[in-house]
Chains A and B, each alone.
Chain A
Amino acid sequence: MKERLRNIRNRHHWWPLVLLGAGWFCVPLFANSYWTDVANFFGIYMLLGLSLNIIVGYAGMFNLGHAAFYAVGAYTTAIINTRFGIPLLVLMPIAALTAAGFAALITRPVLHLRGDYLCIVTIGFGEIVRIALINNPFGLTGGPNGVLGIDRPALFGFTFYQPGHFFYLIWVIVILVMFGMRRLENSRLGRAWNYVREDELAAEAMGIDATNMKLLAFILGAGLAGIAGTLYAGKMTVIAPESFGFWESVVMFAIVVLGGPGSIPGVVVGTFGMFVLPEIFRGFSSARMLVFGAAMMLMMIFRPQGLWPSQRVLRVRQAEGLESQGSAAGRPA
Chain B
Amino acid sequence: MKNAIETHELTKIYNNNFKAVNSLNLEIPNKSIFGMLGPNGAGKTTTIKMLTCLIQPTSGCATVCGYDVQKNPDEVRNLLGMVPQQVSLYKDLTVMENSQLCADYYGIPADERDSRIEDLMELVDIEYARDKRVGQLSGGQKQKASLVASLVHRPDILFLDEPTIGLDPTTKRTLWDLIRELNDNGHTIILCSHDMHEVDMLCDNVGIINTGNLVAYDTPQGLKDSLLEENKKELTDALSEIHSENEVSKSTQEKLENLSLRKMSFLLQNHDENIVSNLQNMDDVRSVEIARNGRINLRIDAFDDMVVQNILKDVIASGGIIKSIYTEEPSLEDVFIKATAEVDEDARA
- Is B truly associated with A? no
Interfacial residues, chain A to chain B (CB-CB below 8 A): none
Residues of B within 8 A of A (CB): none
